[in-house]
Amino acid sequence: MVYNKADSPGFYSVPIPGTEVEGFSPVYRHPDHEDIIDSSKFGDVKTSWDLFQVGLKKNPKAHCVGKRKRLPDGKLGEFEFKTYDEFFETVKVAGSSLVHHNFIKEQKTHCPTVSKTCKLVGLFLPSCEEWLVLEQACYGYGYTLVPIYNTLGDESILYILSNTELEVVFCTEETGKNLLRILALGTEKVILNTLVLVDTSSVPDEFLNNPLGLNFMLWSDFIAKGENDVLPPTPGDPNSLNIISYTSGTTGSPKGVMITHKQFIDTIVVTLEAVCKPMGVTSDYFACHLSYLPMAHMFEKDFINAVFYSGGKIGIFSGDVKLILEDLQTLKPVLFVSVPRLYQRIHDKIMTGAQSKSGVIRGLFNHGLQSKMNRIKNEGIYTHKFYDKLIFDKVKKLLGGNVKWLFVGSSCLNPLVIERVRAMMSTPLFWGYALTESCAGGFVQHKDDRNPVNLGGPSGGFQFRLRSIPELNYFVNQKPMRGELLIKGTNVSAGYFKMDDLTKETFKDGWLYTGDVVELMDNGSVKVIDRIKQVFKLAQGEYVAPEYVESIINSCMYVAQSYVVGNSDESYPVGVLVPDEEALGPWKKTNGMTNATLEELAQSPELKKFLFDEVQRVLAAANVKGFQRVKAIHLHGELFSVENNMLTVTFKLKRNTIRKKFEGVVDEMYKSLKSSS
């Protein structure tokens, strides 16, 4: 066995002597950096505008941004790209147009640690080229982005419009219609006056005759004004606002996270220069990226700008999630960035396909997969000459065939899924931890770390410590050390826009109180246990971290999604499961339900028993403690989604919403268990 150097004590972080405080752990830092470092250590990047300029200077004629060409028969063809200098010219035109139109007034930021004023630009757009143009235009000409997206919900969108006093929003015809519908609910404190439509050649009549008196402008007309007089870029200062990013969250109203240019560039530059490059993840690892996660999300925004900084190219996905694999196979990206939900689906699709094959092929796949998993674990080698040629080179082509590395963020992913995906794709899959409040930058796992559990260590741009949570029995003076994660560094947000009380509650003495419970590993990395507000206590005093249990349940190939919940007067949790219709194909055939819909499957007592037994099997195999295992399940016949308000835009469960929806079902499960005991 080749020793995993990442298992060495202090590999990821070391304590700073003399920083212990009652109820808090010592402060931990990157082992190579005694003090917090920032982007100034690595060159002359001062604002977000400079990130793109670094890539532009590397090769102005290189491919920059592209999308798939629509063919005469309506199908999608290859990606067509603008070069860096072509894209740069479009950005300058758009930025000049923002200045010439002069339809956005300055307003106060109401925050002493950022620039006093800002000019806010609303973007109610799907992922598209215009989004990227406007983002860079705002950077270059001193404006601040305010992304809006449908899944925030009507009330939240109204809140954002009034909270930010947005005057101009760039939108599509579809999102424009949605805005008109939402504004009809009430316009108190909303001063919106102009919508710029980016995807139509004429303004629809219903927009022209709107009762709200809104002005409408076409993207072509907007651009024309800038083309007539292109102005030199005038970026804001480092402490001006890059973005106000409203988090949909799992509960409550959206919070406008204020991110400055300084915080944003420190996140990207320090991560790339002080973390990625030392472990061999150089600029060629960012050469080509498929952008399909929402551009409104900081996680995707970071990767897009990291690609620009590295001189790479970005292909924008076709807009249809069903075509993501086709987009990947057409673009052939070098990196693939996603959230646990999609990795789980890719894993399940491959496993289901393999298990449906003949005995010989199935046996070869299973033996090959296990052989590769063992080789990665014991030797750190991701390839296998025989099994790759026979099986896994074909599997890797699902993502285009050129992927050098995979990254997962947002929430928990079952360790077994991580190990399998690494083996299937012959590629390192590493993950990290971050929040919008930390610019979506934070802990990053080392490329050579084979451990599928830990989240890595700090970048050097921040430090961390843990806080005891006595009410949940987490203490920093016990082994293993557990508590709430606190972060301090150059990447941490200045706070929430016009929300002083919440800012004071979350940001204290320079520390961001994340609300996440973590465990400190011997090598200085952290492992997330759960959210403080999600952990629930059972009648016997034991605590259950539902996200962890759900990640194990979701590794069952027959389960698409799960939700685990427990009442404080009960001694065990219960679960709501969404069956995986595709994986259940053989079961449906055997049980005479070949043509059954997902909704019909959810009504089947036989399937319920089958899935319950399968779930117990995977929970036992993962050594989940008895009190954490669900004792009853309910099958739901519709996938949790962003569209039905069960998931956030980052695909996390909206627990309060789901709890309310299934409140009666949960009560019935407990009642049934008691009557049968």
Q: How far apart are CA 238 and CA 205, in angstroms?
A: 43
Q: How far apart are CA 534 and CA 59, in angstroms?
A: 48
pLDDT band at 603 (very low <50, low <70, confident <90, very high): very high
pLDDT for res 211: 85
Sign, Cα dihedral of 411, 32, 279, 41: positive
For tokens 């240019």, the residue is 261
CATH architecture of the domain 11-35+453-533 equals: Roll (2.30)
Q: How far is CA 551 from CA 339, 344, 514, 547, 641, in A?
A: 13, 9, 21, 6, 17
Q: Which amino acid belongs to residue 36?
A: I
The two structure tokens encoding residue 405: 């590395």
Three state DSSP letters for 190-224: CCCCEEEECCCCCCCHHHHCCCCCCEEEEHHHHHH
| Residues 544-594: tens digit of each pLDDT | 889 889 989 998 989 999 999 998 888 899 999 999 998 899 999 999 999
pLDDT for res 380: 92
Q: How far is CA 518 from CA 393, 452, 468, in A?
A: 37, 16, 11
Which residues are bridge partners to 526 per DSSP? 520
Torsion angles phi and psi, residue 578, rounded to 5: -105, 115
Question: Which residues make up the CATH 2.30.38.10 domain(s) of the chain?
Answer: 11-35+453-533
Q: How far apart are CA 185 and CA 338, in angstroms?
A: 36
Strand-by-strand arrangement of the 215-218 sheet: 215-218, 194-197, 168-171, 120-124, 144-147, 241-247, 255-260, 495-496
For tokens 């393999």, the residue is 354
Q: What is the mean pLDDT of residues 429-452?
A: 90
Q: How far apart are CA 649 and CA 660, in angstroms?
A: 19
> In 10 A of CB 446, how many CB atoms?
24
> In 10 A of CB 289, how many CB atoms?
24
| Residues 158-203: tens digit of each pLDDT | 999 999 999 999 999 999 999 999 998 888 889 999 999 999 999 9
- Geometric angle at alpha carbon 316, from 312 and 322, rounded to 5°: 135
3-state secondary structure of 366: helix
The two structure tokens encoding residue 537: 């206590």
Q: Is 21 exposed, middle or buried (0-12, 13-18, 19+ CB in 10 A)?
A: exposed
Q: What counts of helices (H) and strands (E) characterise the chain?
A: 22, 30
- What's the whole-number average pLDDT of the chain? 92
pLDDT for res 1: 60
Most confident of 40-44, 133-137, 479-483, 669-673: 133-137
What DSSP string runs through 293-325?
S-TTSHHHHHHHHHHHHHT-EEEEP-S-GGGHH
pLDDT for res 63: 99
Residue 199 and residue 319 in contact, taking contact as beta carbons nearer than 8 Å: no
Distance of CA 5 to the CA centre of its chain: 28
DSSP state letter for 104? -
pLDDT surpassing 70 at residue 213: yes
Q: What CATH number does domain 536-676 carry, 3.30.300.30, 3.90.550.10, 1.10.760.10, 3.40.50.300? A: 3.30.300.30
Question: Which residues make up the CATH 3.30.300.30 domain(s) of the chain?
Answer: 536-676
pLDDT for res 298: 93
| Residues 67-125: tens digit of each pLDDT | 999 999 989 999 999 999 999 999 999 999 999 999 999 999 999 999 999 999 999 99
Which residues are bridge partners to 145 per DSSP? 121, 243
pLDDT surpassing 90 at residue 676: no
pLDDT for res 252: 61
pLDDT for res 134: 98
Contacts for 67 with CB less than 8 Å, ≥ 6 apart: 79, 80, 128, 129, 315, 316, 318
pLDDT surpassing 60 at residue 249: no
For tokens 């995807």, the residue is 199
> In 10 A of CB 245, how many CB atoms?
24
Q: What is the mean pLDDT of residues 47-52?
A: 98
pLDDT for res 494: 92
- Geometric angle at alpha carbon 125, from 651 and 121, rounded to 5°: 115
Q: Which of 578, 583, 638 is nearest to 608 (CA)?
A: 578
Q: How far is CA 671 from CA 26, 542, 570, 574, 612, in A?
A: 47, 21, 11, 12, 18
Q: How far apart are CA 58 and CA 39, in angstroms?
A: 19
Q: How far apart are CA 669 and CA 574, in angstroms?
A: 7
pLDDT surpassing 60 at residue 493: yes
Strands 120-124 and 168-171 turn out to be parallel
| Residues 141-152: tens digit of each pLDDT | 999 999 998 878
DSSP state letter for 447? T
| Residues 267-317: tens digit of each pLDDT | 999 999 999 999 999 999 999 999 999 999 999 999 999 999 999 999 999
At the fourth CATH level, the homologous superfamily of domain 40-310 is: ANL, N-terminal domain (3.40.50.12780)
Determine which helix (DSSP H) or strand (DSSP E) holds 139, and give its type and residue range: helix 129-141
Contacts for 430 with CB less than 8 Å, ≥ 6 apart: 405, 406, 407, 408, 444, 445, 446, 447, 449, 456
The two structure tokens encoding residue 417: 């899924």
3-state secondary structure of 412: coil
Question: Which residues make up the CATH 3.40.50.12780 domain(s) of the chain?
Answer: 40-310
DSSP state letter for 336? E
Contacts for 595 with CB less than 8 Å, ≥ 6 apart: none
| Residues 337-359: tens digit of each pLDDT | 998 878 888 898 899 889 888 88
Residue 571 and residue 539 in contact, taking contact as beta carbons nearer than 8 Å: yes
Residue 538 and residue 571 in contact, taking contact as beta carbons nearer than 8 Å: yes
3-state secondary structure of 495: strand
Residue 566 and residue 628 in contact, taking contact as beta carbons nearer than 8 Å: no
pLDDT for res 251: 52
pLDDT for res 218: 97
pLDDT band at 264 (very low <50, low <70, confident <90, very high): very high
pTM: 0.87
